[in-house]
C-alpha cells in the first residue's frame, strides 16, 4: 500500500488556448478539463491507473466536490473532515505547452483538524510501503509540519517521500541530519535554492547539456543527510543522486501539451518502479517516462501504463567521484 498525503488538495481546472496567452486580451478557449488535484492526489491517481494499492489522505468536507471527483476516478481515499471548501486552481495551457498556474491558498486548517490529519497518516503508516507527503501547506499548518511528520515516521517500517517547496522545503532540509525522508523531489529551481546557487545559472547549464552543476547541488543535499534526491529538470529530464551514485535520464524530444501533473507523475513512476523491485537507474528511467508521458497529455490528465515507453528514456551514469566543480 502507498499512502499519499495532500494537505492542500484542489479541484484543478485546466483551460487550453489555441493561441499564446496575451495579458489583457480576450481569449477563446479550445477546451476545458476539471480533475481532482493537489500533488499527492495526482500521485494517487497515477498509481491507481497502474493498478497499485494506494489511498489518498486529504482534508475535505463530506460533500465537497473533490470527494465525488475522487470517487469518479475510482481512487481510494480517506477525507479528514474540515469546515472549509477545497480550493479551485486554474491552469492555462498554450499550444507549445507553456502553462500558467493560478492557485488559491486553500481552506484554513485549525489545530484539531491538523491533529486528525496527522493521526490519519500515522494510522496507515504501519502497513504502508511508502508514505508520500506532497504539495503546499494551506493556512493554519505550520511550515515545519512536513519535517515533524517525517520525524514521527522514523520509527515506522514505511519509506517516506516528500515533494514540496518554499518554506516547508527549507524546514524539511534543516532537519536532514536527524530525520530525512527516503526521497525528496525538488524541481530545478527548488534544487538550486536548497543548494544556495543561482537557479538561472543551473537551468542555463542544463540547457547547454551540462548536468554537473545540478549533480553537485544534489550531492550537497546527500552530504547533508538526504537519502535520495530525485530532481525533475523539465525538458532536460531528471537526476537521481544517492550515496551510491548519480544518474541522469533524458526523455526523447517532444512538444508538451500541458505540464500540469508532470512532476507528480514522475514521482508516481519512481514509486511504481521501486515497488516492483527496480534498481536506482531503472527507477529514474520510469520516473522520466511517466513525466514525459504526462506532459504529452492535455490538461491534468495522467498517464496509464500503456502510455509509458521506457525505451525512449536514456539513462547515463555520472560518477559521484568525478563530478566537475
Q: What CA–CA distance (Å, rounded) separates 6 from 16?
A: 25
- Residue 282: which residues within 8 A CB-CB, separation 6 or more? 273, 315
pLDDT at 322 over 50: no
Tell me the range of 129-138, 247-256, 313-322 where mean pLDDT is highest.
129-138
Longest Cα separation, the chain: 56
Rg (CA), the chain: 19
pLDDT at 108 over 80: yes
Does the domain spanning 2-318 belong to CATH 3.40.1190.20? yes
Which of helix, strand or coil describes residue 228? strand
pLDDT at residue 231 in the model = 96
- State pLDDT tens for residues 14-73: 898 999 999 999 999 998 888 999 999 999 999 999 999 999 999 999 999 999 999 999
- State pLDDT tens for residues 209-251: 888 899 999 999 999 999 999 999 988 889 999 999 999 999 9
pLDDT at residue 321 in the model = 44
pTM (2 d.p.):
0.92
Amino acid at each position: 500500500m502507498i499512502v499519499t498525503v495532500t494537505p492542500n488538495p484542489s479541484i484543478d481546472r485546466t483551460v487550453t488556448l489555441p493561441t499564446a496567452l496575451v495579458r489583457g486580451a480576450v481569449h477563446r478557449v479550445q477546451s476545458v478539463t476539471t480533475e481532482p488535484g493537489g500533488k499527492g492526489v495526482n500521485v494517487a491517481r497515477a498509481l491507481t491507473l497502474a493498478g497499485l494499492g494506494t489511498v489518498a489522505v486529504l482534508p475535505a468536507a463530506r460533500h465537497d466536490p473533490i470527494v465525488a471527483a475522487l470517487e469518479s476516478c475510482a481512487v481510494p481515499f480517506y477525507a479528514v473532515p474540515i469546515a472549509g471548501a477545497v480550493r479551485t486552481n486554474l491552469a492555462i495551457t498554450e499550444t507549445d505547452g507553456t502553462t500558467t498556474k493560478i492557485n488559491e491558498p486553500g481552506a484554513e486548517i485549525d489545530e484539531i483538524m491538523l491533529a486528525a490529519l496527522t493521526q490519519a497518516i500515522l494510522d496507515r503508516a504501519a502497513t504502508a510501503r511508502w508514505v508520500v507527503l506532497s504539495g503546499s501547506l494551506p493556512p493554519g499548518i505550520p511550515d515545519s509540519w512536513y519535517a515533524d511528520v517525517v520525524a514521527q515516521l522514523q520509527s515506522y517500517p514505511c519509506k517516506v517521500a516528500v515533494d514540496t517547496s518554499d518554506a516547508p522545503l527549507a524546514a524539511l532540509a534543516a532537519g536532514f541530519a536527524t530525520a530525512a525522508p527516503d526521497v525528496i523531489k525538488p524541481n530545478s529551481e527548488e534544487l538550486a535554492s536548497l543548494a544556495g546557487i543561482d537557479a538561472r545559472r543551473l537551468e542555463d547549464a542544463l540547457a547547454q547539456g551540462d548536468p554537473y552543476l545540478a549533480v553537485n547541488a544534489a550531492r550537497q543535499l546527500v552530504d547533508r543527510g538526504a537519502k535520495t534526491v530525485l530532481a525533475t529538470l523539465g525538458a532536460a529530464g531528471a537526476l537521481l543522486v544517492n550515496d551510491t551514485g548519480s544518474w541522469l535520464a533524458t526523455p526523447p524530444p517532444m512538444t508538451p501539451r500541458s505540464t500540469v501533473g508532470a512532476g507528480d507523475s514522475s514521482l508516481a513512476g519512481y514509486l511504481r518502479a521501486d515497488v516492483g523491485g527496480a534498481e536506482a537507474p531503472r527507477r529514474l528511467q520510469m520516473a522520466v517516462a511517466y513525466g514525459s508521458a504526462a506532459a504529452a497529455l492535455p490538461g491534468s490528465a495522467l498517464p496509464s501504463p500503456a502510455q509509458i515507453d521506457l525505451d525512449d528514456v536514456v539513462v547515463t551514469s555520472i560518477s559521484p567521484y568525478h563530478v566537475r566543480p
